[in-house]
Structure 1
C-alpha cells in the first residue's frame, strides 16, 4: 500500500471499532511514538511516559465505537488525552523525582564523543528548563516547538483559544531563555 493509499486515522479507528485488529496495529504504529514523545517531554521520565502512552491508547480503543469521523482529528484527541494524563500525574506526585538520565540519546556514529556529550548536555539542560516551567506553558511549548503542531491544533488539544496558546508559548520561551541564560558557554554556545 503506497502512502497515497494509506487509510486515514479516522478510517483506521472506525475499522478497529468494527473488529479489525490490524487497523489497531496500524494506528498504534502511527500515533503511539508521537504520544510517547509528548509524554516524555512533559514528564521527563521514560517509564512514566510509557505508562501514560499506554493509558492514552487504551482510552482511544475504548472510545472507538463512539468516534464521529470528521469532528476532530484522532491525533489531536490523543495529544489532549496524553497531556491531560501528564498533568494529572504531576499533580498527584507533587514534586516527585524526575530521572533525566532516562532520556534516550539517539545513536549517531558520525559524531565524536565530545560532540555527543555536548548534545546530551544541551538536551538535559533543555529538559531541566522545561521542567521549571508551569505545566500549561510546558505543554504549549512542547506541542508547538518540539512536536511542531500548529497553534490551532494546540488550542484544540489544550481547550483554549489560539491567542492563549500564543501567550503561553511566548511566556514559556521567555522562561526557557531565562533558565538557560547563564549556561551558554557551558553548553557550547559562543557569541560570534
Structure 2
C-alpha cells in the first residue's frame, strides 16, 4: 500500500501509472481501505488486470496490475468506471513448461483500447458469461465491503471439476519445474550481486 501511495505522489498531474501489486492491496482493511478510497477519489483508477497465479516465482502468489491517472483536486471522484480483465480464472501457466507469452495478452490489449479507452466494450454479458472484460462503476466499488477491488465473476472450473485435475505426477513435475526455474533465477541474481562486490 505504501508503494502505491509513493507512486501516486511521484506522478505529475495527468501522469499515468501501471503498478504491479499483490492481491492483499485490493482487499486489505484499515489503512488499506482508506488508501483505496482515496486513490479512487483522487485518481482515475480505470483498469485492473488480474494476473495468473504463480507468474512471479511461486505458484500461489497472486498479482494484479492497477492502471491509474493522477488528477487535480476535485470534489467528485475521478474514478468513474473500473474495467477489470480476468487473466487468472481458469488460466494455467507455469514458469518453465507453459510460461505466459506476449500473445496471451492480446485480448487484454484489444479490450484496453489505447486509442480511446472511453469507448471500451465489455466482453462479459448475458450472451457471453465467460467474457473476461467488464466494468464496475464508482458507486458499485464504493459500496463494496472495505471498497474491495478483489472482484471476480467467472466460474472457477477447478473448484467444481476436480475430476479434470492433472494426475499427481504431472502436478509434481510442474512444481519441480517451477522450483528449478525459480532457483535458477535466484542463482543468477546471487551471481550478479556477488559480481558487484555485494
Q: Do the structures match in fold with TM over 0.5?
A: no
- Calculate the TM-score normalised by the size of structure 1: 0.25
Return the structure number with greater strand share.
Answer: 2
Return the structure number with greater helix share.
Answer: 1
- Calculate the TM-score normalised by the size of structure 2: 0.25
